[in-house]
Structure 1
């Protein structure tokens, strides 16, 4: 009996040892697996370190080049005005010398011959210089990631703007509102559309009236090309082109299928920027070259969150920034998103803290001024917001102070006059939109 008990214990020891040996094998495999994983993780960390260093070096070089270009642009602008002033002073000195010689002249015949010519042109016109000048932006360090090393941001405006508007002309047109407005370069005609009325119009001012040529087409965005044709975002996948001479509409190379367009913009270097929406209601902004090839796609921020609610209008400035009016019709509020050339958000403007205190910021359209600032229409409170090229607020102007209500669309003529297309006032069901031509100064 004792021997049988010992044998049972011996078998149990064997079984326990086998279990321990199995567990030991599992642990050794786990150890080897973790060592292999450690090696892979270290390799991935080193690769990421290398990628981050390359991204940082590349981004820093781009920022350095951008600052150099900004300095060149600023210096050229200031030097141009200094040259204008120098030439004016030289003309003044030359006239002064001629007048002085004439005063000291003892030849009466020559004196009366010359004085008749000079006395009507003794003044020298004051040199025309810019009211504002760009300033080299400061460098604001950012979180060091592969996609965001830092951004250039102007802390303060170089000059405090004082914007003034004076109405030159105004017209009433049978539309619910003027969604977009574009002046032609070769004549006095203006192209405009109303997406509420599905109307695209060419109007030509004739005195106090307008000669109108109308097309039945729904347009969501318009942009003027260097060839003086107009790109149309019609809610389809392909951007169309309107000839301002013949009025013929044709397809372009700008195809965003399977996405559809919400707005379109052409930059100064002929890039085409399109606001788009996908079938699953995701909004993006796409930059394309003149061959219709994608260059940059903006859709999500560095935390993979959607940037846009609905791209309403797009403009761009000389420093390469893209400015997008983002407002979904009927929503509580909107914003202006400033996008950098290489991707990422530089700034977001959500309205003036006092002016938009009671009525939230609901922007409709945006345009770049001749001075490289931006004007944003805030229809509900009859206000224009003036931003610098980094999306920082410079000033606001209440258009209702001069009788302009519900400003919706904006455009500059070749002569620097501002066109404002308006919507009908709230509660008005008639088609009584207005167009204003105004002289604007200070921006």
Structure 2
């Protein structure tokens, strides 16, 4: 329609197409009769803006910048500009797709309105919500750090009480030794004093006999000199000494306790659903005190592997050729014996719920499906150690060479080896070379994490096998040797690894920064796994139990 003649045309309602116009919705860019206004604004989810039709502005059909007296009636899709009829007839736009400028204006207006609606109704409120969350965090900051300060004060008071108790105990011991020393001296003095009194009496009697010149008295005298020639015992005392222990500041700090590092993680903002992007998992903060929620008695003498089938069912492996599926009540649901009769080196559950186990002795990896065992991995010259199932349903297996001079991680798709990880960029071995367990897990960010017990390190490489970092224990702990055994990861990309001889679990972030310990009265924790709700299952080798722990 020619904008110069638009006012002469009969204007009808865009909805009913019969009645004359009286109103215009600027939000939806449509013209309405009086009857249709009510129906149009009945949708309260949209912020309509209805004005009198006289106020509705006609599109401004600008004049052509090249031909000053011409209005632009067309739109060149290729050049992305309005053009006049003269421009269209020129060679400049020959073969270009042209549309009606008013139709183009209408479609662009609708696009702008959609953007405005999304900004007003969805995007801006999310920013407001985030700003409110930050303000709330600022408000609670004083309380959270106040709790830390109070905890430090309480620990200080506890240490003061302990030191006072130690000092009082030492003083009590000193007093007791002093009393014993004094008692012995007094007893010795009493004995000597008694002997001296006897001697005085004998000497007095002798003088009287000599002075009497009496033969009968002299004849009755019996000498006791030989008795008194043996002197009473003499005690030699060594007064105790106090040897103050030199105060080691590092040991004192370790005794007092340590703070976990402040973790500031920049999380990529959610892409809202309209962009059809997969959102990040909900953030689950660490609990101040992890909670033991269940204990499973496995019936083994020792248990070293655990893998979740569901929230209340776990596969377990111990020093026995039988692998057991148990529930939280310690009830045996299923048991599978290894094909060879050897101990299973490690177990894992695949994405579709099948059991996988490795056999170090006969160098195989085996899949259990419908209680039937199928050998899917066979090796020559290498022995499989530990195994995990990945997000892409591959298997990652740690291996050691027959002569125990090399170790590596191998990825399998089905029975096909698709990746081998053995050396860093300088050609140095990534992993220690002996047969000790090297439990393995894939992180949510697709990093490959290995608890290399012999090296006393957690070794993490990225998806392509490039070394990211090594974790060798909390940096403030110089007294206890880090002893990593089992390893697992969770939905937050945390890395959890057992510290076997120190009876605890380390929680790291995805970059290897220490976050926290889990203790829960663990006794030689070994294998680990988490279920879909991030509950942690710990194979406790010392008691042959599996503990379920909530830590998020």
**Same fold at TM > 0.5:** yes
Corresponding position of 1:229: 354
Residue aligning to 1:273: 396
TM-score, with length taken from structure 2:
0.45
- Cα gap change, 1:169/1:343 in structure 2, threshold over 3 Å: closer, same or farther? closer
Matches within 5 A, 1:36-185: 135=266, 163-185=288-310
Q: Compute the displacement of 1:364 (Å).
A: 0.8
- The change in CA–CA distance for 1:300 and 1:175 in structure 2 (over 3 A counts) is same
> C-alpha displacement at 1:191, in angstroms?
0.9
CA contact 2:346–2:358 (8 Å) conserved in 1: yes
Cα separation, partners in 2 of 1:416 and 1:304, compared to 1, 3 Å:
closer
* Rounded Cα–Cα distance in structure 1 between residues aligned with 2:534 and 2:483: 26
Q: Counterparts of 2:412 and 2:267 in 1: how far apart (Å)?
A: 28
Is contact 1:408-1:423 (8 Å) kept? Answer: yes
Which of 407, 411, 415 pairs up with 2:525?
407
Q: How does 1:387-406 map to 2 (within 5 A)?
A: 387-397=508-518, 399=519, 402-406=520-524
Cα separation, 2, equivalents of 1:227 and 1:407: 27
Residue in 1 that maps onto 2:546 = 435
CA distance in 1, matches of 2:508, 2:546: 23
1:15-60: CA deviation from partner (whole Å, max 9, x where unpaired): xxxxxxxxxxxxxxxxxxxxxxxxxxxxxxxxxxxxxxxxxxxxxx
Aligned to 1:346, what secondary structure does the other structure show? strand
Q: Does residue 201 of the first structure (1) align with residue 328 of the second (2)?
A: no
Q: Please give the alpha-carbon distance, in whole angstroms, between the structure 2 residues aligned to 1:133 and 1:82.
A: 21
CA-CA distance at 1:262 after TM superposition: 0.4
Partner of 1:340 in structure 2?
Answer: 462
Say which structure, 1 or 2, has more relative contact order (CA 8 Å, 6+ apart).
1
Aligned to 2:541: 423
Match of 2:448 in 1: 322
1:354 maps to 476
User: Displacement, 1:385?
Assistant: 0.7
Of 421, 427, 441, which aligns to 1:298? 421
1:275 CA drift (Å): 0.5
Q: How many angstroms apart in 2 are the aligned matches of 1:419 and 1:437? A: 5
Report the 3-state secondary structure (helix = DSSP H, G, I; strand = E; otherwise coil) of the residue aligned with 1:164.
Answer: coil
Displacement of 1:190 in angstroms is 1.8
Between the aligned partners of 1:241 and 1:334, the Cα distance in structure 2 is 30
Write the distance in 1 (CA, Å) between the matches of 2:334 and 2:286.
39
Distance in 2 between residues matched to 1:319 and 1:376, nearest whole Å: 17
- Aligned partners of 1:418 and 1:84: how far apart in 2? 36
Secondary structure at 1:179's aligned position in 2? Answer: strand
Aligned counterpart in structure 1 of residue 367 of structure 2, from 227, 241, 257: 241
Q: State whether residues 327 and 334 of structure 1, in contact with CA within 8 Å, keep that contact through their aligned partners in structure 2.
A: yes
Q: Give yes or no for contact 2:286–2:551 (8 Å, CA) kept in 1.
A: no
Distance 1:348 1:160, change over 3 A: farther
| Structure 2 match to 1:374 | 495
Q: CA deviation at 1:134?
A: 5.4
CA distance in 1, matches of 2:380, 2:440: 20
Residue 390 of structure 1 and its aligned partner are, at CA, apart by 2.6
Cα distance in structure 2, aligned partners of 1:229 and 1:343? 27
Instruction: Tell me how far apart the structure 2 counterparts of residues 83 and 202 of structure 1 sit (CA, whole Å).
Output: 48
Q: In structure 2, what is the Cα distance between the partners aligned to 1:362 and 1:248?
A: 36
Question: Normalised by the size of structure 1, how large is the TM-score?
Answer: 0.56
Q: Give unmatched runs, 5+ long, in structure 2.
A: 1-122, 134-262, 269-282
CA distance in 1, matches of 2:353, 2:428: 38
Mark the runs of 5 or more structure 1 residues left unpaired by the alignment: 1-78, 90-131, 138-157, 425-431
SS at match of 2:501: helix
Secondary structure of the residue that 2:397 maps to in structure 1?
A: strand
Tell me, in whole angstroms, the C-alpha distance in 1 between the residues paired with 2:367 and 2:451: 23
Query: 1:142-199: CA deviations, max 9, x gaps?
Result: xxxxxxxxxxxxxxxx9995653111121333323321112223x84321001x3444
How far the C-alpha of 1:409 sits from its partner, in A, is 1.7
Question: Structure 2 CA distance, aligned partners of 1:170 and 1:385?
Answer: 20
Partner residue, 2:507: 386
Q: 2:350 and 2:443 mapped to 1: Cα distance?
A: 16
Larger radius of gyration: 2
Question: 1:210 maps to which residue?
Answer: 331
Distance 1:296 1:169, change over 3 A: same
Which residue does the alignment assign to 1:29?
none
Q: Is the 8 A contact 2:412 2:419 kept in 1?
A: no
The structure whose residues are more often strand, as a share, is 1
Counterpart of 1:282?
405
Cα distance between partner residues in 1 of 2:394 and 2:298: 33
* Contact 1:284/1:298 (<8 A) preserved: no
Q: How many residues align?
A: 277
How far has the Cα of 1:85 moved from its partner?
Answer: 6.4
CA distance change for structure 1 residues 205 and 395 in 2, over 3 Å: closer, same or farther? closer
**Take 2:398 and 2:365, find their aligned partners in 1: how far apart are those partners?**
11
